[in-house]
Structure 1
Amino acid sequence: MGNAETRLTRDLTIRYVAVLAIIGGLAIASFLGLVRILMDAEAGGAVIGVAAQQRPLVERVVFAVANLTRPLEPQARLDERAALALALDRLESAHFGLVAGMPEVKGAAPPSAAIKALLFGPDGRLDHEMRGFVGQARAVLAKADQRLPADDTDAKALSPSRVEPLLVLLDRLVTRYREENDKRLRRLFLFHGAALAATLALLILSAAMVFRPMVSRIKDDLAERVKAARKLKESEERLWRILEESPVGVSVSRRSDGAVVFANSRFVDIINTTRDDLIGHPARDLFRNESQRKAVVEALKRDGHIDDAEVQFIRRGGETFWSLLTLRSTFFEEEPVNLAWVYDISAIKAAQAKVRLTAQVVESASEAVVITNAANIIEYVNPAFTTITGYESAEVIGRDPGFLSSGRHDADFYQTMWDDLRATGRWRGEIWNRRKSGEFYAEQLSIVALMSDDGQAVTHYIAIFSDITNRKEDEERIWRQANYDALTGLPNRSLFTDRLQQAVRQSQRDGSRFALMFLDLDGFKAVNDTLGHAAGDELLQQAAKRLEDCVRASDTVSRLAGDEFTCIIPGVHGKADVERVAAKILEELAQPFELEAGRADVRGSIGIAIFPDDADTGPALVGRADEAMYAVKKSGKNAFRFA
């Protein structure tokens, strides 16, 4: 195949695919229009039916009131009162339902201006008349346990001649509902016809764009065949060839006996059989059951055609599948036949079932799901969201999720999150938010951006999160137990080592200096021996508090073991800075300790080492400070010494 032919074939393929896509879109629009027609017809029929019920109900009330004015047996009177009460209840329900617009009917709409004019004026005062009629009937019902006198005012007001104007108004109401329903259905039918006309126009355009170049290419080689194709018989054969190549299943069956006389390749593929096994066999065998076949036949007889009806057929092998069926009555070889177009929608049905299953999974999930639009406005939340946050769906739909913010994260945190979302289309992390009750909670959050079909714009964001507050609290408790002294609440040896390493790295980066104090309590053992270990623990707690009061918030006071404490003091410029802190500590420790078991007096011995003057590593600095502290103890205690 030459380059020109290759290009032509590729061009025709692209055109064909484009036309098919547009035709598919029009077919879906046509289908949705048909669904709207059916819904409006159903809703209009329901409203008309309710409106039409009112006249016989009014007549039944008049009849019951007339009977109650006559002499009746006690049981008969009770039955007539019950019939009157039932008719009034149904009449009130029908009337007030129509006034409210029949909200319980799917697809119903509030009363139009013309209907309101009949109900409330100026065309009539049906609502006023009906309320007066029901009120008088209720009055009769209230006193109907005894025979009503013939001149009872309420009963006379409900005589046939008195209620005739009301009946006339009811008839006008039904007529007006019918007129409005017919007008609405005509508009929808016009829309549906326009969609079909667009589809047919597109088919004609596709023939011009796809097949015409091909016909032009072979015209010179097949001149004689083109002339012969002008004859009527060959034109008919070409028509059936088009049907044969149609992407929609096409079959023809005789109306006399229902036998299939034609089936294109697509129809054979859909039924999963061979042409020989299909031709000559009754079309009724393809229906899922006899009742469905009869419904199709009755609709065809009644309307003369069937458009896009959802019907279940059977493939060879017994598998059932859903299809869209269109039927037309026509002639084939001078014989009346039914021409059927069958479109397999089993995949669409399966997709719909999958969507419903997905919705059920989301609704029953233990993780909260939030869907927002591109402007980050909430469009959907599942029940788990309510469980975790305390907010009902109606309270959050239409709002920005920012109302959940706990205030624990700064603007840079959220800016980074949005930058990641825009760059990668997703973000995952931990975040603190606030419940409706005001309680803070931690959540494990995943956000995914959904893109448009062309991938150029975000259409929605889906956020899925779970409550990890308990886990975070457990982690915090475990971390604190591992890094803080249980008795004094000060950092323990593990956290002290980490803080010391941080101080060394910071000093190496910026050339700063820091001091390390190593402190041991003098006389602590005597307190334990004389006042007991509980008193010793209390003293350690008070000593820790005094040490923290003597240093800055940026300094780190730690308890290593027993009565040994350390203090890391960053940002020192010379020994004088450290001497002031050490002197203050010794002064505070020298004050008596008031314990539950009695007063105790202890002192402190402090060794000081400065980084990097005295050592260039953390462990070495600890050793120098420890040596200085022991030197203080040997020389009399209650003092401090530099390494």
Structure 2
Amino acid sequence: MGSATVVTMYLAHQEKELSRSKEFFQLIINNIPDPVFVKDKNYILTVVNDAFCQLIGRPASTVLGKSDYDLFISPEAENFRQQDENVLQTNLAQETEESLTDSEGDNYLLATKRSIHKDGAGNVFLVGVIRDITERKKLEAKLRRTAEELTRSNHELKASEKRLRHLANHDPLTSLPNRKLFNETLEQLLEWGEAEQQLVSLLFLDLDGFKPVNDTMGHDVGDILLKAVAQRIKNCLRMSDVVSRLGGDEFTVLLPGIKKPSDSLIVAQKILDTVSSPYKLNGHDIKVTVSIGISVYPDDHTKASELVKLADIAMYEAKRGGRNQYRMTQNLANLIEQNLEKQA
């Protein structure tokens, strides 16, 4: 038998097997509800099912024998070719997500699983099974947007709650803790002082000469002055100390963890000197001073309300004594005097 005859027989066998493979594919894929396509090694569509034709909006007669470049827009055809090449070159099945535009211009998002099939004659086919994931992707995108909106709303809610907490616990003019937060902080510091055997000093401050500023220069200047005074008081303190505005021209200072009651006097004098320095506000030269009353836990009392009362009384003693000065409770004064006598 001549070589030409052998070649002819081989080609006939291949052609016969190819025909059988196409018939087999057609029989199988027509019963598959998902879109399916079969391409040869030259990327030509050789078999498609009805679902595939419905997806791309073309009849089988206009699809078979065509390449993706004949049927789809260039970027999509180029992407399909790249995915086909990856499978044909590696002989490994893979699933990818891709976009497809049909004959009417409608766009779909697809998940396509490509795999290799060889028939008995060695013919190679690329088989693709498609799932339309357009609605799933839309739902996922919607869920992402919803999640982002919920996250954003949650952040906004937390920020709003934070602002409301701040407003509820802070003076709107100076942003210092208000009377409510002062009382809570004092209680907490007294609990801490009891647990750690530490002193806690309370300074009760009232400005001298603030009313005339309000009456002669207006409340706007008065507000600016209060903010300036608040800042000066803060500048006199440690990070652990707490200054509050109770209202009007009344302030308090909490000094936790002082070593001895007389340490309060050093802070009080510093505040007196700092607050009494002249102010230049809105073109006005202003001078105010401050009167300070001092009580200390636990030497004066262990109850918060009593410590406030004693410091308030001492502050009024400073007012009656000529203002721009501090006064301790009588008990503190006696303790300090006794300590000085011992040291002498």
Interval containing the TM-score (normalised by the shorter chain): 0.5 to 0.7
Q: What amino acid is the match of 1:507?
A: G
Question: Could you tell me which residue of structure 2 aligns to residue 492 of structure 1?
Answer: 178
What is the CA-CA distance between 1:530 and the residue it aligns to? Answer: 1.9
Q: Which residue is 2:310 aligned to?
A: 624
| Structure 1 equivalent of residue 204 of structure 2 | 518
Equivalent residue for 2:46, pick from 36, 48, 51: 51
* Structure-2 residue corresponding to 1:91: 66
Match of 1:271 in 2: none
Tell me: CA distance 1:48–1:510, structure 2 relative to 1, closer, same or farther (3 Å).
closer
- Between Structure 1 and Structure 2, the one with more strand by share is 2
**CA positional deviation for 1:551:** 0.6
1:557 positional shift: 0.4
2:67 maps to amino acid: E
Q: Structure 1 residues 539 and 108 mapped into 2: Cα distance closer, same or farther (>3 Å)?
A: closer
Counterparts of 1:44 and 1:533 in 2: how far apart (Å)? 79
Q: Which residue identity is paired with 2:144?
A: F
CA deviations over 1:506-556 (Å, ceiling 9, x no partner): 112222110000001111111112222111111000000001111112111
Check 1:575–1:106 CA distance in 2 against 1; reply closer, same or farther (3 A cut). closer
Measure how far apart 1:474 and its partner are.
Answer: 1.5
Q: Supply the AA of the counterpart residue of 2:38.
A: V
Counterpart CA distance in 2 for 1:106 and 1:619 is 72
Q: Please show how residues 174-573 of structure 1 align to structure 2 within 5 Å.
A: 176-177=123-124, 383-385=142-144, 388-389=147-148, 467-573=153-259
The residue type equivalent to 1:571 in the other structure is G
**Aligned counterparts of 2:36 and 2:143: Cα–Cα separation in 1:** 40
1:317-357 Cα shifts (integer Å, max 9, x gaps):
xxxxxxxxxxxxxxxxxxxxxxxxxxxxxxxxxxxxxxxxx
Amino acid at match of 1:479: R
**Higher-RCO chain (CA-CA 8 Å, sequence separation at least 6):** 2
Rounded to whole Å, the distance in 1 between the matches of 2:233 and 2:159 is: 29
How big is the shift at 1:108?
A: 5.5
1:109 to 106, 110, 114: 114
The C-alpha deviation readout for 1:289-315, integer Å capped at 9, x for no partner, is xxxxxxxxxxxxxxxxxxxxxxxxxxx
What secondary structure, in the 3-state scheme, does the structure 2 residue paired with 1:517 have?
Answer: strand
Structure 1 pair 604/47, CA: closer, same or farther in 2 (3 Å)?
same
SS in 2 for 1:468: helix
* Matched-pair identity in %: 33
In structure 2, what residue type is equivalent to 1:582?
A
- Whether the aligned pair in 2 keeps the contact of 1:517 and 1:608 (CA below 8 Å) is yes
User: Which secondary structure state, in structure 2, belongs to the residue aligned with residue 476 of structure 1?
Assistant: helix
Alignment check: 8 A CA contact 1:51 1:94 kept: no
The structure richer in helix per residue is 1
Distance 1:93 1:571, change over 3 A: closer
Q: CA deviation at 1:92?
A: 3.4
Relative to structure 1, the CA distance from residue 470 to residue 628 in structure 2 (aligned partners, 3 Å threshold; closer, same or farther) is: same
CA contact (8 A) 1:528 1:536 kept: yes
Q: Structure 1: which amino acid aligns with 2:278?
A: P
Q: What TM-score comes out, normalization by structure 1 length?
A: 0.34
C-alpha distance in 2, partners of 1:561/1:106?
A: 68
Kindly indicate whether the alpha-carbon contact (under 8 Å) linking 1:40 and 1:108 is maintained by their aligned counterparts in 2.
Answer: no
Give, in angstroms, the shift of residue 587 of structure 1. 0.6
The amino acid of 1:51's aligned partner reads T
Matches within 5 A, 1:587-606: 587-606=273-292
Cα 1:616–1:108 shift into 2, 3 Å: closer
**Secondary structure at 2:267 match in 1:** helix
Of 293, 308, 312, which aligns to 1:607? 293
Instruction: Check whether the contact 2:278–2:288 (CA below 8 A) recurs between aligned residues.
Output: yes
Cα separation, 2, equivalents of 1:594 and 1:540: 13
- State the shift of 1:476 in Å: 1.1
- Structure 1: any 5+ residue segments left out of the alignment? 1-36, 54-85, 116-171, 182-358, 365-380, 391-441, 444-465
The 8 Å contact of residues 39 and 106 in structure 1, kept in 2 or not, is answered as no
Give the corresponding residue for 2:324: 638
Instruction: State the secondary structure of the residue aligned to 2:67.
Output: helix
The answer to whether the 8 Å contact 1:592/1:599 transfers is yes
CA contact (8 A) 1:523 1:603 kept: yes
Give the AA of the match of 2:179. R
Distance, in Å, in 2 between the alignment partners of 1:382 and 1:496 is 49
Deviations 1:451-475 (A, max 9, x none): xxxxxxxxxxxxxxx8411211111
| CA–CA distance in structure 2, aligned partners of residues 520 and 589 of structure 1 | 11
Residues 563/106 of structure 1: CA separation in 2 closer, same or farther (3 Å cut): closer
User: What SS does the aligned partner of 1:615 have?
Assistant: coil
Separation in structure 1 between the aligned mates of residue 145 and residue 287 of structure 2, nearest angstrom: 59
Stretch moving more, 472-481 or 582-591? 472-481
Change (3 A) 1:525 1:48: closer
* One-letter amino acid matched to 1:91: K
Gap change, CA 1:642 and 1:387, over 3 Å in 2: same
Tell me the secondary structure at the aligned position of residue 567 of structure 1: strand
Q: Secondary structure at the match of 2:274?
A: helix
Contact 1:609 1:624 in 2 (8 A): yes
Q: CA deviation at 1:500?
A: 0.7
